[in-house]
Amino acid sequence: MKIIQISPYFPPHVGGVEYHVKELADGLANRGHRVSIASSCGRWTGEIIRIPSIDLFYSPIPIKLPKLEADIYHSHIPSPLFTFMLRKAAPHLVTYHNDIVVPEIINGHGMPRTFAGALEKLNELLVRPVLEEAKVVIATTESYARTSPILKDYLDKVKIVPNAVNVSLYPQVRKKKNYVLYAGRMLSYKGVDSLLYAMREVQKSVDLDLVLIGDGYDRSRLEEMAAQLHVRAKFTGRLERSMFIDTISRAEILVLPTQNRLEAFGIVLLEAMACETPVLAFNTPGVNEVAEKGGMVYSSTQELSELILELHGNGPLRVLLGQKGRRAVEENYSWKRVLDDMESVYREVA
């Protein structure tokens, strides 16, 4: 089949959606499909159709849409403007990665709630016609789809195809070291503040370090906050891929502290689980569905502190959760499984 993946951004632009689209495109191409990428940016070994755009608040505005021809048009949202322009293409599938919830701070600048609410409403006005026209809407978890204020109105056409990782890249047996790990962007909505407060309490009782991988506008503020709280924290910045995998594989625990619906799945959870590293995540729809397969969820900073202490003091439980997580990734979140599911959807609508 001739398949076009339409994504506002594409690697090397950094983001979970971007790398999901790349891995999906690579896998489909390796299975013999003719795959093209339509995006505002990016590099790939296959065909990339560049769409001239103005980049604005993580949502590039397409200036001109080239003529596209395919057997399957597969769009990825958020950032709905590309998908809105293609809503009449047929057959059109849409992967709805997450709701749009404008954070209070963007790129270090405060966002007035009235303006943020207007942006969220504009997004809804663009997204709903897209979902109404789409043949199939793909969500990554059932719990997120059922609780989404938009997606819940289109459940009759929703199919669940989760995110995935290449399991073979992640080592199962690595001696764990004495640190809790966060891996993600250093942005306010990611909830790193709450992790720092939790680790302040943890480090009063036990000798357990905190390592934070990633970069972003809030990094300097978070470094200052860690110093003020007297939290032993190492900020590594972005790491080269092999170093990232080594660091996540040796962590005692990985924490995903995001409390915002912008975090709908948490691919980093799969990466940790593939390394038999137990995970803790805030109890939000979608994320909790994944985290509970290789760890636990929590609902407050105090509970996070308690769970970190519980896991730190219980090696057999950490091993059990790690093994459980690895099995879940192998059985449910491998790229083979996800590509099989996606091809099945494509055949159904082609």
Return all residues near 1 (Cβ < 8 A) that are at least 6 apart: 33, 34, 71, 72, 346, 350
For domain 167-332, which architecture applies?
3-Layer(aba) Sandwich (3.40)
Please tell me the predicted confidence (pLDDT) of residue 163: 96
Return all residues near 270 (Cβ < 8 A) that are at least 6 apart: 163, 164, 165, 290, 329, 333
Compute the distance between CA of residue 7 and CA of residue 4 in angstroms, rounded to an integer.
Answer: 10
Compute the distance between CA of residue 51 and CA of residue 38 in angstroms, rounded to an integer.
Answer: 7
Please tell me the predicted confidence (pLDDT) of residue 105: 66
CA 74 from centre of chain? 18
In the DSSP assignment, the letter for residue 94 is: E
The full DSSP string for 233-296 is: EEEEES--HHHHHHHHHH-SEEEE---STT-SS-HHHHHHHHTT--EEEE--TTHHHHHTTTEE
For domain 2-164+334-349, which architecture applies?
3-Layer(aba) Sandwich (3.40)
The residue with tokens 């093209």 is 36
Please tell me the predicted confidence (pLDDT) of residue 82: 83
What are the residue ranges in the chain where pLDDT is below 50?
A: none
CATH 3.40.50.2000 residue ranges for the chain? 2-164+334-349, 167-332
> CB atoms < 10 A from the CB of 141, how many?
19
Q: What does pTM read for this prediction?
A: 0.91
Q: Give SS3 for 136.
A: strand
Please tell me the predicted confidence (pLDDT) of residue 116: 66
Residue pair 287/258 in contact by the 8 Å Cβ criterion: yes
**Tokens describing residue 131:** 């979902």
Is 282 exposed, middle or buried (CB count within 10 Å of its CB: 0-12, 13-18, 19+)? buried
